[in-house]
Amino acid sequence: MPAFSTDTAGTAVSKEPDRIFAKPLAQVPDFAFNEDVVRVFPDMIKRSVPGYPTIVENLGVLAAQFAQPNSVLYDLGSSLGAVTQALRRHVRTDGCRVIAVDNSAAMVERCREYLNGQDSMFQELLPVEVIEGDILALEFKPASVVALNFTLQFIAPEQRTALLSRIRQSLLPGGALILSEKLRFNDAEEHALLTDLHVAFKRANGYSELEIAQKRSAIENVMKPDSLEEHRERLLAALARRLAGTPLADWANTLQVQLDKKMEKGHGDLERWQSALDALPKIQPSEIDLLNGLKLDTDCNDETRAQMRTALMGLSPWRKGPFDLFGVHVDTEWRSDWKWSRVSPHLDLKGKRILDVGCGNGYYMWRMLGAGADSVIGVDPNWLFFCQFQAVQRYLSEPNAWHLPFPFEDLPPNLEGFDTVFSMGVFYHRRSPIEHLLALKDCLVKGGELVLETLVVEGDKHQVLVPEDRYAQMRNVWFLPSVPALELWLRRAGFTDVKCVDVSTTTVEEQRGTEWMKYQSLSDFLDPEDHSKTIEGLPAPMRAVIVARK
């Protein structure tokens, strides 16, 4: 066993100082994690990476927040196992085990020795398996924590997204990837300043100018840091990948920045809703049905079901649904499944790239996937709906559905990239209905299909109701045309093959208050004596679904 000492609160490491680049080298070879580096690695990394001991220690603290019982914690590119040792110091969750992986034989051999050393210093440490292997070829087990501590930067840039996507797939719901990297800065001045500071840090740690210069030239071909923007963009990368090569590719690449800005602004209740999301049980569905309804299920006990129910209740009121989530029936205000069974027989969504404008909590988006859609992007500015979407989405492993908490107006003009665009329950809220139709048309590819659902009134093509004030208690209702008028407007906006596939009067069975939506609902908005009228004496809600082609 090599000589080791304990430095950061009980980490077993070698003390040998790093002098690898101290003497002039005729030719500086590319840096490698070989036996020479292994011997001095703890000293090298501590003197070269500002804040390294704190980062490793905090990684353990963070991991303890995310570790789930009986799950795996990965330390990828584990080197001498500093992160593994921190995980073992901090994680106290029952049944966890660590899998440390590194492709350097010298690192792995020494790592095993150090971990044995740590074993002898502590009792009841998490079991560890150290694997010598390539993380790019690793068969991941379901994991609650994956640590990539200064490792991704050593992976070839073109392979990074694929690796992150495989990690994403292996993460249990509520699990975490903890990523630390050196950053590159897009702004040249900022990059120069940070490089100077880094050199000063190394100098202060006793490295000579020669050592700094030789190490830089050794490592520059091997370690290729990304900018923060590149890291962020990769996180919405699955969407960008899905849209690569389509007319939406450029737009997809801008979304992460737009989303980050929205997140920064946030919403007063976001913290409360986030706590509800955090309280959702960490389970995986063994049964997923998006075709006949929205049902996820697995074997789970009453306690888990109660936990699920309480967390979902924390995201009330639930409007669109219903959802059957692991034995909990979320009885939403709307029987959206009824509407879907009236509309979906008229649509062929197989392989389609879809935009759902005003997507609410995403109920229809998943039903669209159930009907064979390739991918669905929904936009809706309501943060609660965004959180409800996350609550369900987390249990579906990588479904091709993305909810963007943006108003429709925030989409750039002339996207011209969707095969199908849905606008359901949005049109009557628009002050400029024809502008809305034109904007929807701009999102479609040529020949694409619009599915428009809105409130209508009886009458011929000259008939349209503009409420003087409220309509069914809603303040922001503007235009309720007759079906022939709406068809005419669609034709004037340049659509063809305009046809109405469904007209139905909304019943108090289809829209009603439930324990998941305790506020007033349709029956309170209708004339109590005469359900054919709203409380304001206007025609009661009737809805039409119109399909049209660009």
CA–CA dist 461, 455 (Å, integer):
15
Nearer to ligand SAM (CB atom), residue 160 or residue 367? 160
As beta bridge partners, residue 99 has: 74, 129
**Closest CB to ligand SAM among residues 136, 466:** 136
Q: What are 150's two structure tokens?
A: 């200064």
Query: Least Å distance between CB 107 and ligand SAM?
Result: 5
- Of 340, 335, 333, 325, nearest to 394 by C-alpha is 325
DSSP 544: E
How long, in residues, is the chain? 550
Give the nearer residue to ligand SAM in terms of CB position, either 48 or 68.
Answer: 48
Distance CA(360)–CA(338), nearest Å, equals 16
Min dist CB 46 to ligand SAM, Å, is: 10
The least distance separating ligand SAM from the CB of residue 40, rounded to whole angstroms, comes to: 13
Q: Which of 204, 238, 281 is CA-nearest to residue 375?
A: 238
Q: How far apart are CA 419 and CA 400, in angstroms?
A: 15
Nearer to ligand SAM, 81 or 370 (CB): 81
Site for ligand SAM, rule CB under 6 A: 33, 45, 56, 77-79, 82-83, 101-104, 107, 134-136, 149-151, 154-155
* Shortest Å distance, C-beta 55 to ligand SAM: 8
Which of 176, 194, 177 lies closest to 185 in space, CA to CA? 194
Nearest-CB residue for ligand SAM: 77
- Residues 6+ away with beta carbon under 8 Å from 32: 104, 222
CB of 1 to ligand SAM, least distance (A): 19
Cβ proximity to ligand SAM: between 83 and 146 the closer is: 83
Cβ proximity to ligand SAM: between 11 and 256 the closer is 11
Q: Please say which residue, 151 or 361, places its beta carbon nearer to ligand SAM.
A: 151
Q: 302, 282 in Cβ contact below 8 A?
A: no
β-bridge partners, 19: none
Buried b (16+ CB within 10 A) or exposed e, 323-343: bbbbbbebbbbbbbbebbebb
375-379 and 401-404: which strand pairing? parallel
**Least separation, in Å, of the C-beta of 213 and ligand SAM?**
20
Residue 528 contacts by C-beta under 8 Å, 6 or more apart in sequence? none
Least distance to ligand SAM from the beta carbon of 83, Å? Answer: 5
